[in-house]
């Protein structure tokens, strides 16, 4: 029941947020990542999960070096993760 309610809240956010970021907070190990990954998979053409807990040095370098050039930044992420990102049709998750 709670999962369905939160999923409905995510759908409302998608409809009304107009591209604004969303921050999901809560206790550890309750399914936040699983829920948001499922949402990305079901509601977008593609999704990308960047897990900062895994300490991917190459991805960290992209953040440090290319945030002032977002076209290059997103191109590098696509190549690194082997995924196609489409404007307004892709969902990027920053985890931990």
Span 4-49, pLDDT tens digits: 889 999 999 999 988 789 999 888 888 899 999 999 999 999 999 9
Q: What is the pLDDT of residue 2?
A: 64
Q: Average pLDDT in the 46-69 region?
A: 94
Chain-wide mean pLDDT for the chain? 92
- Distance in angstroms (rounded) separating the CA atoms of residues 46 and 44: 5
pLDDT on residue 83:
96
Q: What pLDDT is stored for residue 60 in this prediction?
A: 94
CA dist., res. 89 & res. 96, Å (int): 23
pLDDT of residue 1: 54
């Amino acid at each position: 029941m709670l999962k369905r309610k939160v999923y409905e809240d995510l759908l409302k956010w998608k409809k009304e947020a107009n591209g604004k970021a969303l921050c999901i907070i809560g206790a550890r190990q309750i399914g936040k990542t699983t829920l948001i990954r499922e949402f990305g998979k079901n509601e977008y053409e593609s999704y990308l999960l960047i897990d900062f807990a895994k300490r991917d040095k190459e991805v960290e370098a992209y953040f440090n070096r290319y945030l002032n050039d977002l076209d290059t930044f997103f191109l590098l992420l696509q190549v690194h993760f082997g995924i196609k990102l489409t404007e307004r049709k892709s969902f990027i998750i920053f985890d931990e």
